[in-house]
Structure 1
Amino acid sequence: MTTASTIAWDDTVLPFQLDASDIRGRVARLDGVLDQVLSQHDYPPAVEALVAEMALLTALIGQTIKLRWKLSLQVRGDGPARLIATDYYGPTEDGQPGRIRAYASYDKDKIDPTGHPFSQIGKGYFAILIDQGEGTTPYQGITPIAGGSLSACAEAYFAQSEQLPTSFKLTFGKSSVPGGTESWRAGGIMLQAMPKASPSANPDGVSDDGLTAAADLMDDEEGEDWNRANHLLQTAEEMEMIGPSVQPTELLVRLFHEEQPRVFDPQPVQFGCSCSDDKVRQSLSIYSAKDIATMTTDEGIVTADCQFCGAHYEFDPATLGFEATEGPDAKS
């Protein structure tokens, strides 16, 4: 296999459908995107793992939505890992890549280097926010932190808030090819029952944690199809999912050939941030001149750094706030 063919599927999301069982899905592979997301910060390993898992979930979920602008995933907890936030920006034109960015806030003095990454979150919530842009009302769905992973939280969200049976299998970590440098790679598969699945097949059934589970949303026949597909999903091996020698199309045939897999056009993804000089100015426009003065450094400037991409901005305080005396926002 040539080098070009081994990397052709990196940073892509491949949509597919299992025609024999009315299940849709996505296969995602991230390498350069994940490297860029994590290289912006010096996270401890546990936080790196949480950000990697969240970015992979974001790529898989973002591609399932007819998104005109932005999908955001957030996890907030009372543990050392206080916040994991990701954004997926839908392609502006057909053939253009989707863009992903991610950020984590954590207490470095309380992170347990020997503990499981998910345990660093503590109690809190998992949220999905969809913003379709100007003139629309953003949607937000929230579910409690549950299960033993971020993917389990996402599964609970879809069952509870969307009543769509959903499952994920993810793998991620640092790897290297012979003679190459170490880099992040991630691969994942998402399965989701088609929306026609009954939303109340077992309305009284809930899982042990009190949340609706996938099995609670299906009748016997749908449940049999779902269980069969998920049993096959669990046979996927780590090296098959992250490549580079097994292409996603080949992986789908290996796993689901009896389910009649049908693939659609792949979606490229890349690292991308939406921060800008104008957006920082806009965020500061609510402050008075007195407030701006408290933000001004000894050098006489106001600085701001993007938490996602690390971009650094510097401003003349006279041009900021609703009492600006200079610049385009100055009041005559």
Structure 2
Amino acid sequence: MTTLPSAASARSADCRTRFIFDNMPVRGQHVRLEGVWRHIAGQKRYPAAIRRALGELLAAGALLSSNLKTEGTLIMQVQGQGRLKMLVVEATSAGTCRATARWDTQSVINDDENLHSLLGGNGIFAITLQPQEGEPWQGVVPLEGEGIAQMLMNYMKRSEQLDTRITLAASDEACGGLLVQRLPESAPDPESWEHVGTLVQTVSAKELVQLDAHSLLYRLFHQTPPRVFDAEPIEFACTCSRGKVSDMLLMLGGEEVGSVLEEQGSVEIDCDFCSARYVFDETDISALFGTDPAAAVCSGGARVQ
């Protein structure tokens, strides 16, 4: 744990940094992802507006996953009925993350379009907590606000009754975010909270994607410096596997899988997060189902489970 330096520190990326004010009931976190974000953004040819929204949601997921009280995964999902169909971010208590988006690839999407326009004005915002042990929990609210940050602040106010300020940004090179919260069960201190919140609102998108935590926090709070904790690394990791794809095929059933096998000669599944390809030929499918699904389809369409 360190205190803020008197000058800007070295550039850093792919990490999350916590901080707290000793003289104000406020805590916060900063995140900046560079290599992780480039890897995720490079998986698909995202239109600029969708890439920006996905980067902001990724930064938000990296920030909020630090609040997981047990080992598990935080899943943040934005679903709409417009040209943008879905944004998904998964961030784990182990400091890993992955993200993807789905959209109408035939539609025209301008670089400067906002999230509300892309989603078609309707949709939901869902946060799911998936512990390694125990039952998952999910909160779902309507989409409120023009961007990811406003949606999250509305969500936090509703679900956790926590005063929160969040600012997010994403470019081709990096994504970043800054979050501050009034400490729960702390004595009311409206003046201090207003002071911190006002300063956070002055942060530019350029600062979020280019500055490390120490440099940004020094710019904002050099008159009332917080205590800054050691940075926590964030890495990309995908949880897909051939075993999980096999389980999915079993859930689809032998008739449907056999139809694909008969038509295409093999079953190919691409991971939406990392683009890994899993190929199952006739021998693989027969071993998976314990019989020949394609033959079952040809002989009358009997379902093979």
* TM-score for the superposition, normalised by structure 1: 0.78
Would you say 1:103 and 2:100 are equivalent positions? yes
- AA matched with 1:130: L
Separation in 2, partners of 1:247, 1:99: 19
Structure 1 residue ranges without an equivalent (≥5): 92-97, 175-183, 199-220
Tell whether the 8 Å contact from 1:273 to 1:308 is kept in structure 2 after alignment. Answer: yes
Structure 2 counterpart of 1:268, from 233, 238, 259: 233
The structural deviation recorded for 1:57 is: 0.9
Separation in 1, partners of 2:265, 2:156: 49
Tell whether the 8 Å contact from 2:74 to 2:129 is kept in structure 1 after alignment. Answer: yes
- AA matched with 2:107: K
Would you say 1:192 and 2:181 are equivalent positions? yes
User: CA offsets per residue over residues 50-88 of structure 1, 9 Å max, x none?
Assistant: 111111111111123234121110001111111001101
Corresponding residue for residue 131 of structure 1? 130
Corresponding residue for residue 217 of structure 1? none
Q: For residue 82 of structure 2, give the secondary structure of its aligned residue in structure 1.
A: coil
Q: For residue 140 of structure 2, give the secondary structure of its aligned residue in structure 1.
A: strand
Tell whether the 8 Å contact from 1:142 to 1:161 is kept in structure 2 after alignment. Answer: no
Corresponding residue for residue 144 of structure 2? 146
Separation in 2, partners of 1:68, 1:321: 37
Structure 2 residue ranges without an equivalent (≥5): 1-8, 292-303
Separation in 1, partners of 2:140, 2:286: 33
Separation in 1, partners of 2:35, 2:267: 33
Q: For residue 24 of structure 2, give the secondary structure of its aligned residue in structure 1.
A: coil
The structural deviation recorded for 1:287 is: 3.4
Alignment root-mean-square deviation, CA: 2.4
The structural deviation recorded for 1:301 is: 1.6
Tell whether the 8 Å contact from 2:97 to 2:237 is kept in structure 1 after alignment. Answer: yes
- AA matched with 2:189: E
The structural deviation recorded for 1:284 is: 1.7
Equivalent positions of 1:1-332 (< 5 A) are 6-7=10-11, 9-91=12-94, 98-113=95-110, 116-118=113-115, 119-121=117-119, 122-133=121-132, 135-174=133-172, 184-197=173-186, 221-243=188-210, 246-296=211-261, 298=263, 300-317=265-282, 319-320=284-285, 324-325=289-290
Corresponding residue for residue 177 of structure 1? none
Residue 117 and residue 296 in structure 1: after superposition, are their counterparts in 2 closer, same or farther (change >3 A)? farther
Q: Which 4+ residue blocks in structure 1 deviate beyond 3 angstroms?
A: 237-240, 257-260, 316-323
Residue 143 and residue 288 in structure 1: after superposition, are their counterparts in 2 closer, same or farther (change >3 A)? closer
Q: For residue 286 of structure 1, give the secondary structure of its aligned residue in structure 2.
A: helix
Residue 291 and residue 254 in structure 1: after superposition, are their counterparts in 2 closer, same or farther (change >3 A)? same
- Greater relative contact order (Cα < 8 A, sep 6+): 2
Tell whether the 8 Å contact from 2:53 to 2:170 is kept in structure 1 after alignment. Answer: no
User: CA offsets per residue over residues 121-169 of structure 1, 9 Å max, x none?
Assistant: 1211111111111x31101111211111111101111101111111112
Tell whether the 8 Å contact from 2:55 to 2:169 is kept in structure 1 after alignment. Answer: no
The structural deviation recorded for 1:254 is: 2.7
User: CA offsets per residue over residues 2-47 of structure 1, 9 Å max, x none?
Assistant: xxx744x211110111222211111111111111111000111111
Tell whether the 8 Å contact from 2:31 to 2:177 is kept in structure 1 after alignment. Answer: yes
* TM-score for the superposition, normalised by structure 2: 0.85
Q: State the identity as a percent.
A: 30
Residue 24 and residue 297 in structure 1: after superposition, are their counterparts in 2 closer, same or farther (change >3 A)? farther
The structural deviation recorded for 1:100 is: 1.3
Residue 286 and residue 242 in structure 1: after superposition, are their counterparts in 2 closer, same or farther (change >3 A)? closer
The structural deviation recorded for 1:104 is: 0.7
Tell whether the 8 Å contact from 1:74 to 1:83 is kept in structure 2 after alignment. Answer: yes
Q: For residue 145 of structure 2, give the secondary structure of its aligned residue in structure 1.
A: coil
Q: For residue 63 of structure 1, give the secondary structure of its aligned residue in structure 2.
A: helix
Separation in 1, partners of 2:184, 2:285: 48
